[in-house]
Structure 1
Amino acid sequence: MSAVAHAVAATIPPRPTPGITVTTQLAGQSELLPAGALGLLVSLHRAVEPERQARLAARGQRQAFFDQGGSPDFRDDTRAIREGDWTVAPIPAALQDRRVEITGPTDPKMVINALNSGAKVFMADFEDSTSPTWRNVLAGQRTMIGAVRGDLAFTAPAANGKPGKHYTLRPHDEQAVLIVRPRGWHLDEKHVLIDGQPIAGGLFDAAVFAFHNAHALMEIDRGPYFYLPKLQSMEEAALWECALSHIEGMLGLPQGQIKVTVLIETLPAVFEMDEILHALRDRIVGLNCGRWDYIFSYLKTFRHHADKVLPERGQVTMTQPFLKAYSELLIKTCHRRGAHAMGGMAAQIPINHDAAANEQAMARVRADKLREVTAGHDGTWVAHPALIPVARAIFDEHMPTPNQHSVLRRDVQVGREDLVAPCSGSISRAGFENNVEVCVRYMAAWLDGNGCVPIHNLMEDAATAEISRSQIWQWLHAGNQHLDDGTAIDLALLESTLRALPARLGDTTALPGGSRIPQAIGLLDQLSRADELAEFLTLPAYRQID
């Protein structure tokens, strides 16, 4: 246990509250989950779980309305919040300048490289970039403790008779600011049962991180800070406010010490951005355009709307009108309230073996970041350290100040129809096959414990796999969909594509999760044939790990 955790443990009953069961035991687990941490988890679960279940039920009811032909819209009952004159609490100094943020999983090498990368912020991701095996979840928390303490180190395996490279952290004042993304409300942590129920994965992630690190981070003016994913309503934001206030109270932190950024990555949430900011106004510092999950949410929201079928993924870019409207409305909303408006992810990774292809990829990154900074975004995301100087050069040139809160975008006038209008395009055979391949390869890696996978020079995570999977389902079930060569998109096309995939992939032994390819093919086949689109592919996949 860290020194800070020892101090905090003194304020919490030394024995865990009865009712908690940790179903799996791993070496070193007791240091990560001492009595004080378990007591915090029990108290937090009991305070939050009833409302979490109510919120998940509300999601289902809302989706049923959409399935019957309804559409998201701005709420009449919250008009006063949208029209009111209010701002969020002041932003801490460490988060004033967030022009380039890097994201990635919580393994030691990634965390060290990201914190040392020169980015302003590193988002350590327990959600879309992490396969939540119990070993991964605990290892990620152990890595976070080492990162905050400053002694995290990693030595790569020896290769070709040479010792592996050794990685260590730079001093705190030379590191990126650490922000942790816990799991979303829909995900359970099945290895921790409280009163017979699994705790919410996000509560586990946030509470254990805060238990071990909150006081140390507070002492250096670094938080703790969180990125909150997958929210669909102001009530879900208010539930996080309740949870984080509870953590602060249990750990003896000042109220509002924990700061958050919320990802606007669901279609319903874009209609409640003012309300989400208001629900978290004492601790929120910004909203982020989580573009990939947002596209997935659009597909899921309109899964039964034949007039809302999107073209293949490569054509659904941020220049499409409905995505441009989403981005610009986010900027306008945030700046009106004194909050950051963060841009989206550049998923490209360097193509070292092909200079021409690499330059084309970097040109796409530069164009995307130029679009963001000139629109008024205060920062952006990249998936690979090599993209940091590319993105930073664009933001440095066009944003000489720490942020662009003065860019109020009063010219932006966005209504409901702007946010839900589909984009036109086509579906090529290559696009269909790429969706199948990305989904299968990602799920195979995820089932094998790897949640962040390079595929075709893009860093794929659960969000991009969700796009691929939900598009396949909608193309099959929306009726009368065809490839641009006239071929019907039906189960026969899916079957032939799945049968051909192993030969197309060739030797899979070098692929992440290569041995799981048949299992992933079976899962995609099952999900694609189902009468209803599964809410998240990670829910049925989670039952197949650990």
Structure 2
Amino acid sequence: MTIQTIERAPTATGIAIKGKQVAGQEQVLTSGALGLLTKLCEMFGPEVEQLIQARNQKQQRIDGGELPDFLIETKKVRDSRWQIRGIPDDLQDRRVEITGPVDRKMVINALNANAKVYMADFEDSLAPTWKKVIEGQQNLMDAVNGTISYTAPETGKHYSLNDDPAVLICRVRGLHLPEKHLEFNDKPIAAALVDFCLYFYHNHRQLLENGSGPYFYIPKMESHLEARWWAKVFNYVEQRFCLAPGTIKCTCLIETLPAVFEMDEILYELRSNIVALNCGRWDYIFSYIKTLKQHSDRILPDRQDLTMDKDFLNAYSRLLVKTCHKRGALAMGGMAAFIPAKTERENNEVLAKVRRDKELEARNGHDGTWVAHPGLADTAMSIFNEFIGNNHVNQLHITRDVDAPIQARELLSPCDGKRTEAGMRLNIRIALQYIEAWISGNGCVPIYGLMEDAATAEISRASIWQWIKHQQRLDSGELVTKALFKTMLVEELATVKTEVGPDSFTHGNYTQAAVLLEQITLADELVDFLTLPGYEMLTA
């Protein structure tokens, strides 16, 4: 592929395309698509900055000692009787969803997997180089049209769609992320608007002809005001394209601590378009640390101890199910990040862990769950088949009305567990390897038997920051300090070099990853998202 470095003048639509031109760009950035993006920027772009400011103001209050709680001003919404508009036929059964980035081979394999839905991800499992953003949109266009295929250059193996592929849902990037290759009024455009606009514009007609529709996953939401913003975007686009209200459907990830206290309100604001909420557990754990970073009584243990049976996580799962089903929405479970192991014994251990996790979700009343690898789809499917049975396609009939009300203290409850040297060193190695892959252009990485995305590295570095900040001791009695982290970082960088081999290490970006990890872990203020400084290091 030939890449030319250019800087273009603004297009006729007022949007400037910056930097490198990549193959296929003209098919994605058509005049029609840019025309819609221009209107979205004009009408809704300025409010994004206001929403981010509102996040920061709320965080400042929590840093000052306030704890998150259910909103007094929206109590009427929580207490009144209402339901969402409805769920399309092809989204009624979501008992297993597979997730992954929008690489061409991945798109085909995910759509062909034994799963009901494929969530095509422009967010946490994609390092958003301009080339990958454009290629990802092309791949989804071809998938919707049924023309996608791929031949592996190294083996000659050919991949194409099966006759009955999974339902396609596009996950856009979060509101906090910019797309630096597209500017409006000399400012980068919110990446969420870019991803939404391009996928909708190029695919909505064909999706509707296919008997499906333009479906989206919305990540990193923190308040019902952000849900209201999305509702306005959807309503405007539906009217502009003469679509019936509620044609665009979305699932919102409840993966931030502030959002768990506003689930009713989020469903209400998006009631014409929303069909489900999802437990994004790994980002939720990261958000727990980030939101409560100044509260010394809310320190989390090793990541390996943070299983869904912990009180604060189990309360989060049960409240999401109860809230969703009360409003007629589906309640999606979280990610099984495991990947199949090489030996039968190890693989049986992996599958046993997946079964325990998915049985807990299904027992809580979730309507479906996520897997990161096609090899786990059958296991997850068998469990949800057992719980859902033959007479239903979901568990909307499970209301959890007999449950006692879940209080804020349960959602905020401290979590017992050890802080170990082995856990800290593992955090460092995982963060190093993930950050190196991300800044090299790969956002979905197998590390130590798990398919990791950005949430993993976020938990890893935020945990260490929290332990340093609040002068925690490891189970050995050793105090966690900046000096200890620096020493371990050097030692674990050498370990990673041994693991990946000197050639891969030399030709990789491990030194740069170590520098970034040190900067964000030792910063006096916790960096909101490592992908923000990481984005500046992406070279394409």
Q: What is the TM-score when the length of structure 2 is the normalising length?
A: 0.95
Pairing partner for 2:52 from 37, 40, 56? 56
CA contact (8 A) 2:24 2:135 kept: no
Q: Does 1:409 align with 2:405?
A: no
Deviation, 1:355, is 2.1
Match of 2:6 in 1: none
Match of 1:338 in 2: 328
Match of 1:44 in 2: 40
Q: Distance in 2 between matches of 1:446 and 1:246?
A: 35
Match of 1:472 in 2: 464
Q: Distance in 2 between matches of 1:303 and 1:205?
A: 31
Q: Distance in 1 between matches of 2:263 and 2:505?
A: 37
Q: Distance in 2 between matches of 1:206 and 1:494?
A: 40
Match of 1:499 in 2: 490
Residues 119 and 527 (structure 1), Cα distance of their counterparts in 2 relative to 1, 3 Å cut: same
Residues 370 and 97 (structure 1), Cα distance of their counterparts in 2 relative to 1, 3 Å cut: same
Q: Distance in 1 between matches of 2:378 and 2:15?
A: 50
Alignment of 1:441-456 (within 5 A): 441-456=433-448
Residues 242 and 23 (structure 1), Cα distance of their counterparts in 2 relative to 1, 3 Å cut: farther
Match of 2:8 in 1: none
Q: Distance in 1 between matches of 2:362 and 2:519?
A: 42
Q: Does 1:67 align with 2:63?
A: yes
Match of 1:94 in 2: 90
Match of 1:78 in 2: 74
Q: Distance in 1 between matches of 2:481 and 2:256?
A: 28
Deviation, 1:28, is 2.2
Q: Distance in 1 between matches of 2:311 and 2:24?
A: 51
Deviation, 1:493, is 1.5
Match of 1:515 in 2: 508
**Alpha-carbon displacement from aligned partner over 1:255-307 (angstroms, at most 9, x marks no partner):** 31110011000000000000000000011101000000000000000111111
Aligned partner letter, 1:232? E
Deviation, 1:483, is 1.0
CA contact (8 A) 1:447 1:513 kept: no
Pairing partner for 1:274 from 230, 245, 264? 264
Aligned partner letter, 2:43? A
Alignment of 1:97-136 (within 5 A): 97-136=93-132
Deviation, 1:509, is 5.9
Q: Does 1:525 align with 2:482?
A: no
Q: Distance in 1 between matches of 2:412 and 2:188?
A: 35
Deviation, 1:22, is 3.8
Alignment of 1:279-290 (within 5 A): 279-290=269-280
Q: Distance in 2 between matches of 1:38 and 1:513?
A: 41
Pairing partner for 2:352 from 358, 363, 371? 363
Match of 2:538 in 1: 545
Deviation, 1:388, is 0.5
Q: Does 1:236 align with 2:232?
A: no
CA contact (8 A) 2:85 2:246 kept: no
Alignment of 1:206-225 (within 5 A): 206-225=196-215
CA contact (8 A) 1:214 1:223 kept: yes
CA contact (8 A) 2:112 2:162 kept: yes
Pairing partner for 1:245 from 226, 235, 241? 235
Q: Does 1:435 align with 2:435?
A: no
Q: Any idea what SS the aligned residue of 2:21 has?
A: coil
Match of 1:3 in 2: none
Match of 1:489 in 2: 480
Q: Any idea what SS the aligned residue of 1:430 has?
A: helix
Deviation, 1:54, is 0.5
**Alpha-carbon displacement from aligned partner over 1:5-52 (angstroms, at most 9, x marks no partner):** xxxxxxxxxx84235444432222111101111111111011111211
Q: Distance in 2 between matches of 1:192 and 1:531?
A: 32
Match of 2:180 in 1: 190
Q: Does 1:32 align with 2:24?
A: no
CA contact (8 A) 1:509 1:515 kept: no
Q: Distance in 1 between matches of 2:439 and 2:276?
A: 33
Aligned partner letter, 1:533? L
CA contact (8 A) 1:347 1:383 kept: yes
Moved more, 139-148 or 254-263: 254-263
Pairing partner for 1:178 from 168, 171, 178? 168
Q: Distance in 2 between matches of 1:514 and 1:423?
A: 41
Moved more, 356-365 or 293-302: 356-365
Q: Distance in 2 between matches of 1:515 and 1:533?
A: 27
CA contact (8 A) 1:450 1:512 kept: no
Q: Distance in 1 between matches of 2:507 and 2:261?
A: 41
Match of 1:153 in 2: 149
Match of 1:4 in 2: none
Deviation, 1:194, is 0.5
CA contact (8 A) 1:207 1:247 kept: no
C-alpha RMSD of the superposition = 1.4
Q: Does 1:396 align with 2:396?
A: no
- Give 5+ residue unaligned stretches, structure 2: 1-10
**Alpha-carbon displacement from aligned partner over 1:161-180 (angstroms, at most 9, x marks no partner):** xx421100112xx1100000
Q: Distance in 2 between matches of 1:252 and 1:143?
A: 26
CA contact (8 A) 1:107 1:140 kept: yes
Q: Distance in 1 between matches of 2:330 and 2:261?
A: 18
Q: Distance in 2 between matches of 1:278 and 1:365?
A: 33
Match of 2:361 in 1: 372
Deviation, 1:510, is 7.5
Q: Distance in 1 between matches of 2:268 and 2:459?
A: 30
CA contact (8 A) 2:428 2:461 kept: yes
CA contact (8 A) 1:286 1:341 kept: yes
CA contact (8 A) 1:445 1:514 kept: no
Deviation, 1:126, is 0.2
Match of 1:11 in 2: none
CA contact (8 A) 1:444 1:513 kept: no
Residues 106 and 66 (structure 1), Cα distance of their counterparts in 2 relative to 1, 3 Å cut: same
Q: Does 1:323 align with 2:319?
A: no
Pairing partner for 1:141 from 137, 150, 159? 137
Match of 1:204 in 2: 194
CA contact (8 A) 1:444 1:514 kept: no
Q: Distance in 2 between matches of 1:205 and 1:220?
A: 21
CA contact (8 A) 1:446 1:513 kept: no
Aligned partner letter, 1:344? G
- Give 5+ residue unaligned stretches, structure 1: 1-14
Q: Any idea what SS the aligned residue of 2:276 has?
A: strand
